[in-house]
């Protein structure tokens, strides 16, 4: 019974003596604090709690105990191609998935991507992921997506989408309704959203899809403010037709006017910021610096592992960097100096936890460590790492010092899914062979030339200008390398 590696679902878990970040409005820090989990809930938070009989006791001293992180926008199916598009722009991404090869994906390929992405998420302390699943060109693909999510002990929200057909068409299909009836059963481990983009076509062809979402009582999530793809027109059409609601999640919202931000703020929706993505794909400048002024709720996301990391440490770090970078740059353009950063480390930790919970309508039971809430908890602790001490500023430590390898223990719904840096109850070997089969299939179907070309887009020609400082023999590294 006291075998520490036997994590039976009925065993209480006591995280002993960590620095707890409960995530409240004051962004409190509770040093030397225990967290007791009984069943799927947080039973007690405080110093020196007695360990119930049979409890799994985790030594959290020297570590940080925080709520599980929540990613509100990840195309999990694309994780089967991890890193393939590292040098892409949005244009290359659209060509590869939307126009050319996305339609090659079979249900088993969606399963493979989702399985690996789900495992990767819990390993990194991301206990809830919104699977922005826009590769569901048949209901068989959707069944495969859910089968994979069910096979991973994480919490997920299936955001059902299909880039290969108009939203009005696939949301109106009887088999879509049937799928929702069959697979979305109210289990709190699997939420549901409908995912599609609004083109800005004045005829508003997306209207029937919004009506389906309204009828089913489920939120819509949409890529908004994506340079060259979705614009203020889409927001205005949604607003004029009454489809902007507090449940709506606007992904990126990076190239929108103040008018669109006003409409989002006025209707209570939230923005999912994917800074790593916006910085290199080209949706627009990561928008937190602009939307802070509108008091629009923010959550964080990492978009897709075909380019970027699957962890929210990177999201927090890049979001702080992009926001501060912009603030300095704008001030310099005015001849001014920023002496105090507006965006603070504790705020991005809040966005990665409470912000995500709010975005998916789960503020009541997720996103913070309080008695009675669901036990989705992460312990960041790595005694072997020189980065683990001194622990002076816990929020700053999470945002700038910690990384996925420091995730020591993870609980989802009260269940230990990672313990002492090892995943529990997860078949990574099976996920690896599924992903290998998908990669082999895609690679052989495309042929070696197209496969390599897709991964290695041409580099535009750069003209190196003559250096005007002719009084020195020094030549820059850039000149030498050409
Ligand atoms: Zn996306």
Query: What's the 84 CA to ligand 1 centre distance in angstroms?
Result: 16
Query: What's the 394 CA to ligand 1 centre distance in angstroms?
Result: 30
Q: Of 108, 45, 31, 44, give the one whose Cα is nearest residue 77.
A: 108
Q: How confident is the model at residue 467 (pLDDT cuts 50, 70, 90)?
A: confident
In this structure, the dihedral spanned by the alpha carbons of residues 150, 274, 201 and 194, taken in order and rounded to 10 degrees, is: 20
Query: What's the 75 CA to ligand 1 centre distance in angstroms?
Result: 6
Mean pLDDT of 263-269: 98
Q: How confident is the model at residue 376 (pLDDT cuts 50, 70, 90)?
A: very high
Mean pLDDT of 423-448: 97
Q: What residue has token string 């008018």?
A: 259
Q: Is the pLDDT of residue 365 over 50?
A: yes
pLDDT in the model for residue 2: 45
Q: What share of the chain has pLDDT > 90, as a percent? A: 92
Query: What's the 167 CA to ligand 1 centre distance in angstroms?
Result: 16
Query: What's the 11 CA to ligand 1 centre distance in angstroms?
Result: 38
Mean pLDDT, the chain, rounded, equals 95
Mean pLDDT of 167-193: 97
Query: What's the 436 CA to ligand 1 centre distance in angstroms?
Result: 24
Q: How confident is the model at residue 3 (pLDDT cuts 50, 70, 90)?
A: low
| Residues 6+ positions from 194 with CB-CB distance below 8 Å | 159, 160, 161, 167, 171, 209, 212, 213, 216, 218, 219, 220, 221
Record the pTM. 0.95
Q: Is the pLDDT of residue 417 over 70?
A: yes
Rg over alpha carbons for the chain, rounded to the nearest Å, is 23
Query: What's the 270 CA to ligand 1 centre distance in angstroms?
Result: 15
Q: Is 210:241 a contact under the CB 8 Å cutoff?
A: yes
Q: How confident is the model at residue 460 (pLDDT cuts 50, 70, 90)?
A: confident
Query: What's the 303 CA to ligand 1 centre distance in angstroms?
Result: 5
Query: What's the 121 CA to ligand 1 centre distance in angstroms?
Result: 16
Q: Is the pLDDT of residue 203 over 90?
A: yes
Mean pLDDT of 13-29: 98
Q: Is the pLDDT of residue 479 over 80?
A: no
Rounded CA separation 224/288 (Å): 14
DSSP 8-state code for residue 102:
G
Report residue 220 as tokens: 């819509």
Query: What's the 277 CA to ligand 1 centre distance in angstroms?
Result: 8
pLDDT in the model for residue 222: 98
**CA angle 33–320–370, rounded 5-degree value:** 25
pLDDT in the model for residue 135: 97
pLDDT in the model for residue 23: 98
Rounded CA separation 10/374 (Å): 15
* Least confident piece of the model among 16-30, 150-164, 340-354, 453-467: 453-467
Q: Is 265:72 a contact under the CB 8 Å cutoff?
A: no
pLDDT 10s digits, 97-131 = 999 999 999 999 999 999 999 999 999 999 999 99
pLDDT in the model for residue 470: 74
Q: Is the pLDDT of residue 9 over 90?
A: no
Mean pLDDT of 208-230: 97
Rounded CA separation 130/123 (Å): 16
175: phi then psi, degrees, rounded to nearest 5: -70, -25
Query: What's the 450 CA to ligand 1 centre distance in angstroms?
Result: 24
Query: What's the 457 CA to ligand 1 centre distance in angstroms?
Result: 20
pLDDT in the model for residue 476: 59
Alpha helices in 221-294 (DSSP H): 232-240, 258-267, 275-281, 288-291
pLDDT 10s digits, 88-98 = 999 999 999 99
Q: Of 21, 38, 31, give the one whose Cα is nearest residue 62.
A: 31
Query: What's the 341 CA to ligand 1 centre distance in angstroms?
Result: 29
96: phi then psi, degrees, rounded to nearest 5: -65, -55
Q: Is the pLDDT of residue 143 over 80?
A: yes
Q: Is 51:37 a contact under the CB 8 Å cutoff?
A: no
Query: What's the 388 CA to ligand 1 centre distance in angstroms?
Result: 33
Query: What's the 254 CA to ligand 1 centre distance in angstroms?
Result: 12
Q: Is the pLDDT of residue 465 over 60?
A: yes
pLDDT 10s digits, 380-410 = 999 999 999 999 999 999 999 999 999 999 9
Query: What's the 223 CA to ligand 1 centre distance in angstroms?
Result: 6
Q: What residue has token string 């299936």?
A: 158
Query: What's the 16 CA to ligand 1 centre distance in angstroms?
Result: 38
Query: What's the 432 CA to ligand 1 centre distance in angstroms?
Result: 24
Cβ neighbourhood burial of 5 (10 Å; 0-12, 13-18, 19+): exposed
Query: What's the 246 CA to ligand 1 centre distance in angstroms?
Result: 20
Q: Is the pLDDT of residue 372 over 80?
A: yes
Query: What's the 79 CA to ligand 1 centre distance in angstroms?
Result: 13
Report residue 231 as tokens: 């614009």
Q: Is the pLDDT of residue 482 over 50?
A: no
Q: What residue has token string 């992921």?
A: 129
Rounded CA separation 72/85 (Å): 21
pLDDT in the model for residue 25: 97
Query: What's the 278 CA to ligand 1 centre distance in angstroms?
Result: 10
Strand ranges for 340-406 from DSSP E: 377-380
């Amino acid at each position: 019974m006291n075998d520490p590696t036997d994590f039976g679902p009925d065993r209480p878990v006591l995280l002993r003596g960590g620095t707890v970040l409960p995530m409240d409005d004051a962004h409190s820090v509770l040093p030397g604090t225990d967290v007791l989990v009984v069943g799927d809930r947080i039973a007690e938070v405080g110093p020196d709690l007695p360990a119930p009989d049979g409890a799994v006791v985790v030594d959290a001293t020297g570590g940080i105990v925080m709520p599980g992180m929540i990613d509100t926008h990840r195309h999990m199916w694309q994780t089967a191609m991890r890193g393939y598009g590292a040098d892409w722009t949005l244009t290359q991404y659209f060509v590869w998935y939307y126009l050319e090869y996305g339609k090659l994906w079979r249900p088993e390929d969606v399963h493979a991507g989702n399985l690996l992405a789900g495992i990767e998420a819990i390993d990194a302390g991301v206990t809830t992921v919104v699977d922005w699943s826009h590769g569901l060109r048949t209901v068989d693909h959707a069944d495969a997506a859910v089968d994979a999510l069910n096979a991973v002990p994480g919490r997920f929200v299936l955001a059902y989408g299909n880039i290969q057909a108009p939203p009005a068409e696939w949301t109106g299909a009887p088999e879509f309704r049937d799928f929702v009836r069959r697979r979305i059963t109210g289990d709190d481990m699997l939420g549901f959203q409908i995912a599609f983009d609004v083109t800005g076509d004045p005829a508003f062809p997306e209207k029937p899809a919004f009506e389906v979402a309204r009828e089913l009582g489920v939120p819509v999530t949409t890529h908004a403010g994506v340079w060259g793809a979705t614009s203020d027109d889409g927001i205005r059409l949604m607003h004029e037709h009454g489809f902007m609601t507090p449940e709506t999640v606007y992904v990126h919202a990076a190239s929108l006017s103040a008018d669109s931000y006003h409409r989002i703020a006025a209707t209570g929706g939230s923005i999912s910021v994917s800074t790593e993505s916006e910085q290199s794909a080209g949706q627009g400048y990561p928008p937190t610096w602009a939307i802070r002024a509108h008091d629009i709720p923010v959550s964080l996301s990492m978009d897709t592992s075909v380019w970027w990391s699957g962890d929210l440490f990177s999201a927090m770090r890049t979001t702080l960097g992009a926001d501060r970078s912009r603030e300095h740059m704008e001030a310099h353009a005015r001849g001014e100096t920023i002496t105090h950063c507006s965006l603070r480390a504790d705020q991005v930790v809040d966005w990665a936890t409470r912000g995500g919970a709010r975005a998916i309508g789960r503020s009541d039971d997720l996103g913070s460590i309080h008695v009675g809430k669901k036990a989705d908890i992460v312990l960041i602790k790595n005694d072997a790492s020189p980065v683990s001490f001194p622990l002076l500023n816990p929020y700053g430590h999470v945002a700038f010092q910690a990384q996925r390898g420091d995730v020591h223990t993870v609980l989802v719904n009260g269940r230990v899914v990672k313990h002492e840096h090892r995943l529990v109850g997860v078949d990574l070997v099976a996920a690896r062979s599924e992903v290998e089969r998908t990669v082999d299939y895609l690679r052989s179907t495309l042929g070696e030339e197209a496969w390599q070309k897709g991964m290695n887009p041409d580099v535009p020609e750069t003209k190196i200008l003559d250096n005007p400082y002719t009084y020195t023999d020094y030549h820059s590294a850039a000149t030498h390398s050409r």
